[in-house]
Amino acid sequence: MYPFNYHKPETVADAVALFNDADDAMYLSGGMTLIPTMKQRLAAPTDLIDLSGIAEMTGIDVAADKVTVGAFTRHNDVATSGAIGETLPVLAQLAGLIGDNQVRNRGTIGGSLANSDPAADYPAAVIGLGATVHTQERAIAGDEFFQDLFETALQPGEIVTRIEFPVPTRAAYRKFPNPASRYAVVGVLIADFNGAIRVGVTGAGPCAFRASGLEEVLNQNLDPEALEGVEVPDAGFNSDLHASAEYRAHLVKVMARRALNDLLS
């Protein structure tokens, strides 16, 4: 064990004030990445600011055209929310595919997005559904939120407070999970907004991105056959012991076809 200061503020404003006063503070949400990292001594913040006591970061609000999820909402709360299941089922389904049950009981949507792991599931939903990420200071368009490997548009001290998802006509998410971690080797979310198609891809590149090439094809012809001739370039894709860049590019197409089949059925 090494010493650090533990704080549990009750408002976002208090959390930010604590962050600014500390030498080397980190926010703690579900802790599914940060705690193992600290246990391995790969991070040693002087101050840990636990966000679990902040009521304004919780809650799920479902309207006909918009689903708003508090940043501290745990994955299983999204997966099992009846209201989300009815209005935006793809989000509940996606949340139910994250990690294992233990991770889903602890991990939060805000923590996942702020961490921006290249293989996390939620970023595919933020990109594919064109969500808006709210912080204590501003609203960030989903398309601009993820910037690089573990890099987001968030500034130091900025906290994700809630995420607003527009409700599409229909949508589907498919992923190829790593069999051990259930991280998405590749995950593809396709959403149809009255004929306008959005495709969000996670796992393939350094961070989640819109597959504009696939969107162009599907906007003209919303048919799995149309995907056959599409080239997915693997430039800049992740390559590791689980999958080469070339294989990931192939998986993007396969997952897109499966998601499209789900969407059309």
Pick from 92, 119, 129, 199: which binds another protein (CB under 8 A)? Answer: 119
**Is residue 148 a contact point for another protein (CB under 8 A)?**
yes
Q: Give the other-Cβ count within 10 Å of 8's Cβ.
A: 15
Taking the complex as a whole, the smallest distance from the CB of residue 37 to another protein amounts, in Å, to 4
Taking the complex as a whole, the smallest distance from the CB of residue 112 to another protein amounts, in Å, to 12
Where do the H-state alpha helices sit in the chain? 12-21, 34-39, 75-79, 82-87, 89-96, 101-106, 109-115, 122-128, 142-145, 212-220, 245-264
Taking the complex as a whole, the smallest distance from the CB of residue 204 to another protein amounts, in Å, to 11
**Rounded to an integer, what distance in angstroms lies between the CA atom of residue 100 and that of residue 135?**
28
Instruction: Find the binding residues for another protein in span 156-195 (CB under 8 A).
Output: 183
**Rounded to an integer, what distance in angstroms lies between the CA atom of residue 7 and that of residue 10?**
10
In the block, which residue shows the tokens 């391995």? Answer: 40
**Is residue 1 a contact point for another protein (CB under 8 A)?**
no
**Rounded to an integer, what distance in angstroms lies between the CA atom of residue 121 and that of residue 98?**
7
**Is residue 240 a contact point for another protein (CB under 8 A)?**
yes
**Is residue 147 a contact point for another protein (CB under 8 A)?**
no
Taking the complex as a whole, the smallest distance from the CB of residue 9 to another protein amounts, in Å, to 21
Q: Which is nearer to another protein, 120 or 190 (CB)?
A: 120
Q: Which is nearer to another protein, 170 or 182 (CB)?
A: 182
**Is residue 37 a contact point for another protein (CB under 8 A)?**
yes
Stretch that binds another protein, among 10-18, 117-125, 189-197, 219-227 (CB under 8 A): 117-125
Contacts of 128 (CB under 8 A, 6+ apart): 171, 173, 188, 189, 190, 191, 198, 199, 200, 210
Taking the complex as a whole, the smallest distance from the CB of residue 253 to another protein amounts, in Å, to 21
Q: Which is nearer to another protein, 93 or 152 (CB)?
A: 152
**Is residue 246 a contact point for another protein (CB under 8 A)?**
no
**Rounded to an integer, what distance in angstroms lies between the CA atom of residue 234 and that of residue 176?**
17
Q: Which is nearer to another protein, 76 or 238 (CB)?
A: 238
Bridge partners (DSSP) listed for residue 69: 60, 163
Closest CA to 125 of 151, 153, 102, 92: 92
Contact 24, 46 (CB under 8 A): yes
**Is residue 108 a contact point for another protein (CB under 8 A)?**
no
- Total residues binding another protein (CB under 8 A): 26
**Is residue 118 a contact point for another protein (CB under 8 A)?**
yes
**Rounded to an integer, what distance in angstroms lies between the CA atom of residue 5 and that of residue 18?**
11
Residues near another protein, by CB under 8 A = 26, 33-34, 36-37, 40-45, 115-119, 148-150, 183, 206, 238-242
